[in-house]
Amino acid sequence: MRKQIVAGNWKMNTTPEQGVVLVKEILKNLGQSCTTVNYIVCPPFTHLSEVAKVTRGTAVQVGAQNCADEAKGAYTGEVSAEMIASIGAQYVILGHSERRQYYGETSAKLVKRMALTYANGLMPIYCVGETLEERENGKLWDVVKAQIEEVVFTLSDEQFRHLVVAYEPVWAIGTGKVATADQAQEMHAFIRKVLISKFGEAAQKTPILYGGSVKADNAAEIFAKEDVDGGLIGGASLKAEDFLAIGNGFN
């Protein structure tokens, strides 16, 4: 049995005040589903600390949306993994396609971020996924395999045990276009096979989340697939009701 995870990536949305209201609303309506589903919220850096305080001792965990690729020092504007860990967060999203696309995130940088994430006791949610052009050219398998090999294959066996992977086809993020449940399963099974080739049977326990326009009305069909262990949710994580309804997709 693998962990079932629903993680909300708030991106650059909500003020600190709105973020606290949102997480309190999630906590108030959590109900029974949190006994089986692991909920994670990933607010912007400005309110990570406040949200972590509100969630302390609850079933909701907190993650950052990125971390610096250096440990500390003269890196204006950056936030280190140590800082993120110090405020009580547990996760860091790494390699999100928006960061790869807009901020020049390379595998070399992600290897460094990954190492710092683990060195500070945090767990990465590592995102992979192909663009529409890559899918249409049949390059999707090579692209995703390279994203895994170049970064995940640098992990030790012990680090690998704490990894969460998110498959997020770039063409499905924020577009309303969702991969079909079969397309998601096909890629998730492929990712697991690649992970098994390096880490063996330990990869049977790796949670692989699907991300890309997941909503309450499509979550159940996608989550029902064998190798889909939950979702990384953007837009629909900004309303407590919608976010929690996605978690009900496991039932």
Stretch that binds ligand PEP, among 24-32, 41-49, 136-144, 208-216 (CB under 6 A): 208-216
Does residue 47 have an active-site annotation? no
Catalytic residue (choose from 47, 96, 105, 130): 96
Over the window 2 to 41, marking each residue x when it contacts ligand PEP by CB under 6 A and - when it does not, the resulting string is -------x--------------------------------
Binding of ligand PEP at residue 212 (CB under 6 A)?
Answer: yes
| Cα 72 from Cα 187, distance rounded (Å) | 37
Q: Which of 111, 194, 232, 240 binds ligand PEP (CB under 6 A)?
A: 232
Answer for which of 213, 222, 230, 246 binds ligand PEP (CB under 6 A) is: 213
Nearest to 92 by CA among 70, 64, 71: 64
The answer to the question of residue 211 lying near ligand PEP (CB under 6 A) is yes
Q: Binder to ligand PEP among 169, 207, 235, 249 (CB under 6 A)?
A: 235
Q: How many residues bind ligand PEP (CB under 6 A)?
A: 13
Smallest gap from residue 233 Cβ to ligand PEP (A): 5
Provide the minimum distance between the beta carbon of 9 and ligand PEP in the complex, in angstroms, as a whole number.
Answer: 4
- Which residue's beta carbon is nearest to the bound ligand PEP? 234
Site stretch for ligand PEP (CB under 6 A), options 47-55, 68-76, 188-196, 212-220: 212-220
Site string for ligand PEP, 164-203 (x = CB under 6 A): ----x----xx-----------------------------
* Contacts (Cβ under 8 Å, ≥6 apart) of 140: 130, 134, 169, 187
Q: Does 43 bind ligand PEP (CB under 6 A)?
A: no
- Tell me how crowded residue 95 is: count the other CB atoms within 10 A of its CB: 26
| DSSP result, the chain | -PPEEEEEE-TT---HHHHHHHHHHHHHT-GGGGGTEEEEEE--HHHHHHHHHHHTTSSEEEEES---SSSSSS-TT---HHHHHHTT--EEEES-HHHHHHS---HHHHHHHHHHHHHTT-EEEEEE---HHHHHTT-HHHHHHHHHHHHGGGS-HHHHTT-EEEE--GGGSSSS----HHHHHHHHHHHHHHHHHHHGGGGGG--EEEESS--HHHHHHHHTSTT--EEEESGGGSSHHHHHHHHGGG-
In whole angstroms, the minimum distance from the beta carbon of 146 to ligand PEP comes to 20
> Is 70 annotated as catalytic?
no
Q: Which residues bind ligand PEP (CB under 6 A)?
A: 9, 168, 173-174, 211-214, 232-236
List residues with catalytic annotation: 96, 168
